[in-house]
Amino acid sequence: MSDLIHAVDSPQEIACAARRLRETGQRELIPPQAVLEVFEQWSAALQAREFEIPGLAFLRLWLRRGNLEPILLRELGPNALSGGWLEDGRAKLRAFPLGVVGHWPAGNIEIQPILSMTCALLGGNGCLVRVPSGLVEITRRVMDKLQEVDRSGSLTERIFMASFDHSRMDLHEAMAQAVDGAMIWGGAEAVSQVRGLAFPHWARVVVFGPRLSAAAMDAESWGDRAERSSWCRRIARDVWQFDQQACSSPQTLFLERGAGCDPDEFVEDLKQAFQEENRHHPRLQIEPALTSAICLARATWLLDSVENGALFPASPDWTVLSGEGEEMPNPTQGRTLSVLVVDDLLKVISRFDGTLQTLGLGVKDAHREEMLAQAAGRSGVDRIVKLGRMHVFSSPWDGTELIRPMVRLVRHVQSQD
């Protein structure tokens, strides 16, 4: 096990770790610029071919200076990189870390413990990260690379990763009591239970709870024979990532009806794209219950109406369920995409509720897209992106900034004035 990931068995271990992290932070502030330098090297170190970790490509891009600098500048202001003060009228503002931030990542996104942690590190915080038991090995491999590049330990001394069984309430409690901020990710049960822990009254808690995502295309896009294959490849990529279990995974694709556009042709192209994606990224294992769920989704859809169609192989590898309808069917996940033809995208999008996180769009006309984005935002959607980029992690996420919530903006009005 990496030096940074500890198999924790007592609340005292967590309390001691948090105390050390806090002391480190109080001893010396680390400006975002210094964090970015290490991140840049870390990103380069993760290029090695031996890494076959889902989402690692995103992590490499995320860690690049070119990606993070604009986020820092937007969230923390023009002088944020050097950790300097920012003029604000007759006052000055400067971001200071909260202290120690606890991270409760979800178990289904391999790189999430790292992503969550980097947000708080950029704010100069110490990080107490609970690594889900299924992600310990993957996280260790990524963190080993950080240790290699962070020779001075300027970042690693600000990190303590804890591995313990999810049922150990005493350890969850100890984590909660030891932190000044928390970033909580995952399903409804998990986030509700973590949020219900006894955090200090000053702790800031940010929750990234369970969401669903969908995709939508206008007829000019999906009906364009020249572009259709490319769109289908983008959709397949979004479906395959994280085995369609992420909050940003599309579960349903809405196609706006168009004169002379045949949905069957589109679904056939989608099948080709799914087959191709499956060749490149075959599933290596599956829970039997998911296989059952996939078979049940296929059967119930086709038994529901003789108008419904579907394309799927003999294996549970992928499924396209096609038909008409404005309601999002219950998601099956496991690479099962419902493709529904609708008369008016605007009407469908206007009926979304706050459950929907990301809307992946393929729309030809920019003005029309603005209208759809406006409707989506009003209906609770937090991210509207081009198809093929639904999982690209960026700020804001779930409508929330990623770095700013874990810093304090200190206001200084000079006494000489």
Partner 1 sequence: MEIEQRIEGLLTVPPYSLAPQQHQDAVLALLKSELEYACERNPRFRNYVNHWPMDFRAAERISDLPFLPVGVFKLNPPLALVDATEIKRTLASSATTGQVPSRVVLDAATARRMTKGVVAIIRDLIGPARRPYLVIDTTENMTARTELGARAAAIQALGSFATEVTCCLRSDGRGESSLDLQKLLDCAAKWKEAELMVYGFTHVIWTQLVQPLQGKGTTLGIPNVHVLHSGGWKRLEQQAVTKDVFVRGVTSVFGCSPHRVIDYYGMVENVGVVYPDCEQGNKHVPAFAEVIVRDPLTLKPVESGQRGLVQVCSVLPTSFPGFLLLTEDLAEVIGEDGCACGRRGTHFRFAGRAPKAEVRGCGNVETTRRGDSRWGAEA
Give the residues lining the site for partner 1 (CB under 8 A). 105-109, 132-135, 166-167, 185-191, 193, 208-213, 242, 244-249, 283-293, 295-296, 298-300, 302-306, 308-316, 330-331, 333, 355
In the bound complex, what is the minimum distance in angstroms from residue 258's beta carbon to partner 1? Answer: 25
Distance of CA 322 to the CA centre of its chain: 28
d(CA 238, CA 98): 35
- 52/165 with CB nearer partner 1: 165
Q: Which residues have CB under 8 Å from 314's CB, separation 6+?
A: none
H helices then E strands: how many in the chain? 14, 16
Strand partners, 162: 6, 130
Q: What's the min distance (Å) between Cβ of 399 and partner 1? A: 14
Q: How far is the CB of 77 from partner 1 (least distance, A)?
A: 30
Task: Name which of 285 and 414 has its Cβ closer to partner 1.
Answer: 285
- Which C-beta is closer to partner 1: that of 22 or that of 237? 237
Nearer to partner 1, 143 or 297 (CB): 297
Tokens of residue 331, six digits: 């998601």
Minimum Å gap between C-beta 191 and partner 1 is 7
- The nearest distance, CB 229 to partner 1, in angstroms, is 22
Nearer Cβ to partner 1, position 220 or 398? 398
Pick from 102, 125, 249: which is nearest to 184 by CA?
Answer: 102
Indicate the residue among 226 and 289 with the shorter CB distance to partner 1. 289
Q: DSSP string of 100-156?
A: EEEEE--SS-TTHHHHHHHHHHHTT-EEEEEPPGGGHHHHHHHHHHHHHH-TT-TTG
Q: Shortest gap between Cβ of 242 and partner 1 (angstroms)?
A: 8
Q: State the minimum distance, in angstroms, from the CB of residue 30 to partner 1.
A: 29
Which CB atom, from 228 or from 298, has the smaller least distance to partner 1? 298
Least gap, CB of 111 to partner 1 (angstroms): 13
The Cα angle at residue 208 between residues 129 and 8, in degrees rounded to 5: 20
Q: Is 26 or 291 the residue whose CB approaches partner 1 more closely?
A: 291
| Six-digit token string for 229 | 């294959």
Contacts of 375-381 with C-beta under 8 Å, sequence gap 24+, read: 375/346, 375/349, 375/350, 376/349, 376/352, 378/350, 379/349, 379/350, 379/351, 379/352, 379/353, 380/352, 380/353, 380/354, 380/355, 380/356, 381/349, 381/352, 381/356, 381/357
